[in-house]
Chain A
Amino acid sequence: MTARPLSLTVNGKQIGPIDVPDDMMMQDFLHEYLNLTGSRMGCGEGVCHACTVILENPDGRLEEHRTCISAAHFFAGKSVKTIEGHAERNVSGKVVKLTDVQQAFMKHFAFQCGYCTPGFVTATTVLMDRLQRAPVARKDLERTITQALDPHLCRCTGYVRYYEAVREVILAAPGLVRG
């Protein structure tokens, strides 16, 4: 197994170069090298989507990526936002303000055990970014949410309160829905 230096941006912070094995998954890199344990290890084979993080493209477009089946080196030179990078923090790193998505999940009692929640926050944030660029018709909103979030598994909640929270936060944000 060989290790190569890896540099990337995580939550706005320049990381590396750090020697990282070629076959190390991003999930392990985040957990073991950066101590960012918020993205969850669920199935380890890309089914449950609890491990997703946001890939911030140079044009600003956000993408969702499963870290359990993506090598850390795939993210070389790229910019990543993990669940730890969503809420606003003060200089000492303490969370001072949640995002609208996080706040909506709290308000709706959307999650129970919380294991899948980082993935749902990530997916919803990416969906809202997409709708910002290409709004959908109101009548298509529920279908759009289902398509975007359907890959995310949840054992506890039955999804309803998540989905209702997502719909509310999308409708409350200006410019995401037409008509």
Chain B
Amino acid sequence: MRRVRPRTRCCDSVSIPPRSRCGGARAAPPFLRKRFASSTAPCLPPDARRCRSLITGVSVHVFNRRRAQWAQAEFDVPTVGRERLKADALAVCYGAGAPPERKALMTSGGFHFVERASVSYAPMRNIVGQNYVSSIANIVEIAVDTKTGGVELLSHHSILECGTKVVPELVSGQLQGGLAMGIGHALHEYLPLYEDGPGDGTWNWDRYHLPRASEVAVWNQTADVLPARSAEDPPKGMAEVTVIAILPAIANAVAHAIGHRFYEMPITPDKIRGALS
């Protein structure tokens, strides 16, 4: 039995096309990929393709404002002609068989940056409630040992809004994993700057404490993942949003427990003992 599994902790529910430069933007619309597919002759073996003079690589920038409001631009694409695309920047590269004057155009990191002939962006509107950003809130229950300064995480609860869930199991895994990272940041994990920090190359887990299961309230954590508002509610990027809210939740809980507010993480036992002494 074989399954493809995610290789990293990031599992945004949108896919970013290779080579696109789209920080915060969305994947290239499918029609764009399909249209260029016809000019890249994907059925040819690589060697044969290299010999051809056609486009062998495409890099685009896409921009989305509100749902499906893609920026659009026109490009005069060599070997293809004038194209109106849901992309606002385009670069292509050509096969080894392309004429020298066309290859001479490939001056931007090996790509030919194709000037756009026109561009249009969707107008700014009130976009409240129309974003692709997941949100989370956390409530935590802790016990502070005033003698040792240790903080025990007793339980926590998350309220997460991530639009339509593409793979619910991964949403839940991403939620729990992010919480553990946030808990580590809040209470345990410390990477000091400069020569004595982990940059000296000798650090390992004897001096960098990663939370263990017993330290993340593994059996005592609950979550409400809010249902999508409608069938059209888009999947929203999860990434590691779940790392964030648990930090102020824990810092607030410590402040409520001992009457002292900390502004630097991690909140370690010696800092708490210092505040209480």
Residue of A nearest to B5 (CB): A114
- State in angstroms the CA–CA spacing of A37 and B172 once bound together: 30
Q: How far is the CB of A147 from the nearest CB of chain B, in Å?
A: 8
The answer, among A42, A95, A111, A146, for a CB contact under 8 Å with B218, is A146
The answer to whether B176 and A43 touch across the interface, beta carbons within 8 angstroms, is no
Stretch of A15-23, A44-52, A72-80 on the interface side: A44-52
Taking CB atoms, residues of chain B closer than 8 Å to A158 are 173, 175-181, 216, 218
Stretch of B42-50, B51-59, B126-134, B207-215 on the interface side: B207-215
**B34 in contact (CB, < 8 A):** no
Residue of A nearest to B184 (CB): A155
Taking CB atoms, residues of chain B closer than 8 Å to A98 are 1
**A168 in contact (CB, < 8 A):** no
The answer, among A44, A149, A159, for a CB contact under 8 Å with B216, is A159
The answer to whether B3 and A106 touch across the interface, beta carbons within 8 angstroms, is yes
- State in angstroms the CA–CA spacing of A113 and B11 once bound together: 11
- State in angstroms the CA–CA spacing of A127 and B170 once bound together: 27
Taking CB atoms, residues of chain B closer than 8 Å to A95 are 1
Q: How large is the interface on B (under 10, 10 to 19, 20 to 34, 35 or more residues)?
A: 20 to 34
Taking CB atoms, residues of chain B closer than 8 Å to A42 are 205
Chain A interface helix/strand/loop/mixed = loop
Residue of B nearest to A160 (CB): B176
Q: How far is the CB of B114 from the nearest CB of chain A, in Å?
A: 38
The answer to whether A159 and B176 touch across the interface, beta carbons within 8 angstroms, is yes
- State in angstroms the CA–CA spacing of A3 and B179 once bound together: 48
Q: Which A residues between 45 and 83 are near B, CB-CB below 8 angstroms?
A: 45, 47-48
**B204 in contact (CB, < 8 A):** yes
The answer to whether B205 and A157 touch across the interface, beta carbons within 8 angstroms, is no
Interface residue ranges, B against A (CB under 8 Å): 1, 3, 5-9, 169-170, 172-173, 175-181, 204-206, 210, 212-214, 216, 218-219, 221
